[in-house]
C-alpha cells in the first residue's frame, strides 16, 4: 500500500487539516513554504496521467477544497500556488495523486532547475 493510502487509512500519522468522504488534506512533512499542504483524493490514483473521465467531479471537488483550505489558512488574498508533479521529469516522488498548496510568502517566479 502506498504512503498516502496509509495516511488515508489512519495507519500513518499526518497533520490533517481537512477530510471528507473523497478527499483528505494534510501538512507536507518537508514543507517548502510557510504553508505547504497536500490535497489528495482518498482513492488511489497513481499519477495525473491516470485521471479518467469518471474522476472529473472528484478533481473539480479537490479544487473547491483547495480554495477553502487557502481561505482557512489566510492565504487566499495574499496568494498561493497549486502544483502537481507527474512522473520522472515532473519530480514525482509519491505515486498517489496529490496537489501541493503552497503559500505564506512570495513564491517568486516558477523555477525549473
Active site residues: 98
Does residue 92 bind ligand AMP (CB under 6 A)?
yes
DSSP assignment string, the chain = --HHHHHHTTSS---EEEE-SSEEEEE-SS-SSSEEEEEEESS---SGGG--GGGHHHHHHHHHHHHHHHHHTT-TTT-EEEE---HHHHT--SSS--EEEEESS---S----
Determine the interface stretch with Zn ion among 11-19, 41-49, 69-77, 86-94 (rule: CB under 5 A). 41-49
Site string for Zn ion, 87-106 (x = CB under 5 A): ---------x----------
State the cell numbers at 50. 491516470
Q: Minimum CB separation from ligand AMP for residue 43, in Å?
A: 17
State the cell numbers at 38. 497536500
Does residue 3 bind ligand AMP (CB under 6 A)?
yes
- Footprint on this chain of Zn ion (rule: CB under 5 A): 2, 4-5, 44, 96
Q: Which residues bind ligand AMP (CB under 6 A)?
A: 3, 12, 14, 28-30, 38, 85, 91-94
Amino acid at each position: 500500500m502506498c504512503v498516502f493510502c496509509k495516511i488515508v487509512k489512519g495507519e500513518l500519522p499526518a497533520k490533517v487539516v481537512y477530510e471528507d468522504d473523497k478527499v483528505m488534506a494534510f501538512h507536507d512533512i518537508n514543507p517548502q513554504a510557510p504553508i505547504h499542504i497536500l490535497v489528495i483524493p482518498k482513492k488511489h490514483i497513481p499519477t495525473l496521467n491516470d485521471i479518467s473521465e469518471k474522476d472529473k467531479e472528484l478533481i473539480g471537488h479537490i479544487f473547491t477544497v483547495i480554495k477553502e483550505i487557502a481561505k482557512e489558512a489566510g492565504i487566499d488574498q495574499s496568494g498561493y500556488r497549486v502544483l502537481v508533479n507527474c512522473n520522472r521529469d515532473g519530480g514525482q516522488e509519491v505515486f498517489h495523486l496529490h496537489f501541493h498548496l503552497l503559500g505564506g510568502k512570495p513564491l517568486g517566479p516558477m523555477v525549473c532547475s
